[in-house]
Amino acid sequence: MDNFSDEQMGEIVNDQFDAADALLLGRKTYEIFASYWPYFEPADDPLATKLNSMPKYVASRTLDAVEWRNSTLLAGDVAGAVEDLKNQRGDVVMTQGSTDLIQTLLSQDLVDEFQLWISPLVLGEGKRLFGNGTIPAALELTNVETSRTGVQILRYKRAGEIENGHIGE
């Protein structure tokens, strides 16, 4: 991805995290983030400051504890815990990476908005964002940005029920 990174994308990442009130992570993404961000000197980096200070919720079937400051382990029924979290907090809980966790959230209809970054690459295979078990949902495109390196940054929000139609109508 570094071949496609630019200053504009860094600003967009900062804006996305600024808009988030809490972070929801799967175990693997948590371990990657927790091995780096707590040790990063945040003096001149707003992203490091935000990540280290914001509440973090970690969904895991294997971790016994989470050590990164302001982290809470969600064990057991993750879908139920996330639904409770959404109801209790009532603010923006963002998920970054966490592809296995995303599949659980999609299968339980717990995603309100997507912020997708599409790089101009075709790898041929990999994990599917919308895997088996994803509940069908209508989406509305609310924002599009294109970086100077060709990365599309798309924002979709939930748009109610799916309306069936026919081509040509």
121 close to 150: Cβ distance less than 8 angstroms: no
For residue 84, give the H/E element and its range.
helix 78-89
Residue range 100-121: average pLDDT?
90
Please give the pLDDT value at position 76. Answer: 85
Q: How confident is the model at residue 167 (pLDDT cuts 50, 70, 90)?
A: low
Q: How confident is the model at residue 23 (pLDDT cuts 50, 70, 90)?
A: very high
Specify which residues 26 forms β-bridges with: 59
Please give the pLDDT value at position 130. Answer: 83
**How far apart are alpha carbons 104 and 108 in whole angstroms?**
6
- Map out the domains of the chain with their CATH numbers: 2-158 (3.40.430.10)
Q: Give ∠ CA 76-136-89 in degrees, rounded to 5.
A: 45
Please give the pLDDT value at position 166. Answer: 63
pTM: 0.85
When the pLDDT of each residue in the chain is averaged and rounded to a whole number, the result is 88
pLDDT (tens digit per residue) in 117-157? 998 988 888 777 888 888 888 999 999 999 888 999 999 99
Please give the pLDDT value at position 56. Answer: 96
For residue 95, give the H/E element and its range.
strand 93-95
